[in-house]
Amino acid sequence: MNMRKFRKDDTEVNMAPLIDVVFLLLIFFMVTTTFREESEIQIDLPKAANEPMDAMPEAIEVIIDRDGKFYVDDQALINTQVDTLKRAFRQSLGERQNVPVIVSADANAPHQAVVKAMDAARQVGLSKLSIATRNFKEE
């Protein structure tokens, strides 16, 4: 009787099933994850018979929606007070001087909101104001 001593070989861990499980979990989370879509500001610009203007990249854009809410450079303001608008203009202006302001107001926005935005810009020292419109031909 030849008794051989069995020695324990190093135990191997098979990684293939582990990798398969990780990939399945990854696919599961990718499929079931819902991505939060940021709401875009919907405005209906008033119509005018003018020629389109080239975009001013350094301009400060004020968007006023149909409810009279303000957005300065795509950032919603917490309220519709003139002081809040002035603070947003100063923050957007930074160290720049005499930057043009483009007011994009919804066609159904309250007229008072447009006047308030223009007045706040004037109080901060911004005097170059433009009102965005869309051309009659765009329809």
d(CA 72, CA 51): 25
- Does any domain span residue 23? no
Quote the pLDDT of residue 42: 67
Could you report the per-residue pLDDT of 18-72, keeping only the tens digit for each?
A: 899 999 999 988 888 876 665 566 666 666 665 555 555 588 889 998 888 999 8
Q: Is the dihedral of CA 55, 60, 65, 68 positive or negative?
A: negative
- Does any domain span residue 58? yes
Count the domains in the chain: 1
- Does any domain span residue 75? yes
Quote the pLDDT of residue 40: 65
**1: pLDDT strictly greater than 80:** no
Quote the pLDDT of residue 20: 92
User: In CATH, what number is assigned to the domain containing residue 128?
Assistant: 3.30.420.270
- In which domain, by residue range, is 86 found? 47-138
Q: Mean pLDDT across the chain, nearest whole number?
A: 80
- Does any domain span residue 20? no
Quote the pLDDT of residue 58: 82
pTM: 0.58
Instruction: Give the residue from 104, 42, 97, 44 showing the smallest Cα distance to 73.
Output: 104
- Does any domain span residue 104? yes
Radius of gyration of the chain (CA): 30
